[in-house]
Amino acid sequence: MSVEHAQVQRTDFDQVMVPNYAPAGFIPVRGAGSRVWDQSGRELVDFTGGIAVNVLGHAHPALVSALTEQANKLWHVSNVFTNEPALRMAKKLVDATFADRAFFCNSGAEANEAAFKLARRVAFDLYGTEKYEIIAAINSFHGRTLFTVNVGGQSKYSDGFGPKITGITHVPYNDLDALKAAISDKTCAVVLEPVQGESGVIPAELAYLQGARQLCDEHNALLVFDEVQTGMGRTGELFAYMHYDVTPDILTSAKSLGGGFPIAAMLTTEALAKHLTVGTHGTTYGGNPLACAVAEAVIDIVNTPETLAGVKAKRELFKTRLEAIGEQYGVFTQVRGLGLLLGCVLSDAWKGKAKDFFNAAEKEGVMVLQAGPDVVRFAPSLVVTEADIDEGLDRFERAIATLTQA
């Protein structure tokens, strides 16, 4: 039986929601694969993937089936219990990665909070009170809690909220010399995104990550990879560290894990995990059954040769076409990123105008993202069809043609 809902419009947002962000002028109401329909029934091609979240597009049949099956069994239990989907999902992550132990929570911020607390706790237990400093990159993004915004390298998220958490240093991304100068025996963790998303979809250089790994080993610090915005499977490997063959001590991943269903994970080794003993760090659940059941279905599809090879092939389709558009209309100087996380760097004439590209694309019926004011970001479904790629990029090119002629 369907429930009749009250009619709402975009203008209602301004009346009932906290104004901490400014959504687009239309409201998506239904999705299927890489297509979305808004309230008026208009169809759009979705190349945003919910910012690398909807790894398998909208309403993927396998995820709907897993969600429906589990919804008829068990939704949530107190954290004095465990549950079957959580244990199965943890086993799959352990079997597929460097990790021996998994920690589940609701969001990337929670996963990073747990990772940073674990790093400080390990240092406290093994080396004492003076080893607590964390090094992160300028322009990094690690979540929205007070701790994670302080570790993140964007002052707009941390200024104006009282005293900042001490012992956190920020250095330029991909600058190994700066990291060498900052690290010391007081450092407990170096936190890096393998692909820095919010500062413009900048992949890490291999030598930088290798150097960071070596420096951490030399100073008994932990290397933490925040792969929340990179997304599971999006590089063409299950996790981005596999692309570089540089193994962290702790890895965080978030909503891509559940294909958009709220779930996140912190992965680490048995030797480190044992420092989060009972009572040292809680979570709203030790693995929500509903979320973990969906996540199981996601990893079963993503962690296959077909899906991961498809990511690499589809990347070339996007990159080739976007480079051609950039050259023809003089709007992009570079298309960078890894796998199906791509950033189109705006030319000097268009710097600061990424929002204009977002708006122009929406008018032509294609959804794209910004990564700062100078980069247009694409994060499509990992299983987007070639037909949807062609149609979406045709619409995007029409948007660019209109924008450059205005």
User: What are the structure tokens assigned to 258, written together?
Assistant: 């559940």
The confidence score (pLDDT) of residue 1 equals: 57
Question: According to CATH, where is 3.90.1150.10 located in the chain?
Answer: 10-60+307-405
Pair of tokens at residue 202: 């900048």
Residues facing residue 137 across a β-bridge? 171
Q: What's the pLDDT score for residue 390?
A: 98
Identify the CATH number of the domain defined by range 10-60+307-405: 3.90.1150.10
**From the candidates 103, 104, 116, 141, which is the catalytic residue?**
141
| C-alpha 83, offset from chain centre | 26
pLDDT of res. 233: 97
Instruction: Please give the chain's pLDDT, 406 residues, in tens.
Output: 578 889 999 999 999 999 998 999 999 999 999 999 999 999 999 999 888 799 999 999 999 999 999 999 999 988 889 999 999 999 999 999 999 999 999 999 999 999 999 999 999 999 999 999 999 999 999 999 999 999 999 999 999 999 999 999 999 999 999 999 999 999 999 999 999 988 899 999 999 999 999 999 999 999 999 999 999 999 999 999 999 999 999 999 998 999 999 999 999 999 999 999 988 887 766 789 999 999 999 999 999 999 999 999 999 999 999 999 999 999 999 999 999 999 999 999 999 999 999 999 999 999 999 999 999 999 999 999 999 999 999 999 999 999 999 7
| Contact assessment for residue 379 and residue 234, using Cβ atoms and an 8 Å cutoff | yes
CATH of domain 74-302: 3.40.640.10
Report d(CA 44, CA 268) in Å as an integer: 39
Which among 131, 255, 314, 353 is annotated as catalytic?
Answer: 255
Residue 141 CB burial class (10 angstroms; 0-12, 13-18, ≥19): buried
Residue type present at position 405: Q
Answer yes or no: 180 catalytic.
Answer: no
Q: Dig out the tokens for 66 from the structure.
A: 């897993």
Catalytic hit among 38, 131, 225, 226: 226
Find the farthest-apart pair of alpha carbons in the chain and give their distance in angstroms, rounded: 64
Domain boundaries for CATH 3.40.640.10 within the chain: 74-302
Per-residue confidence (pLDDT) for residue 30, from 0 to 100: 97
pLDDT reported for residue 331: 98
Residue position matching structure tokens 């509903």: 290
Q: Is 274 a known active-site residue?
A: no
Is residue 164 within 8 Å of residue 150, measured between CB atoms?
A: yes
Return the H-helix or E-strand segment holding 264.
Answer: strand 264-268
pLDDT score, position 284: 64
pTM (whole model) above 0.95: yes
- Helix/strand/coil for 114: helix
What residues contact 177, with CB distance under 8 A and at least 6 apart? none
Told to judge if 141 belongs to the known catalytic residues of this protein, a careful annotator would answer yes
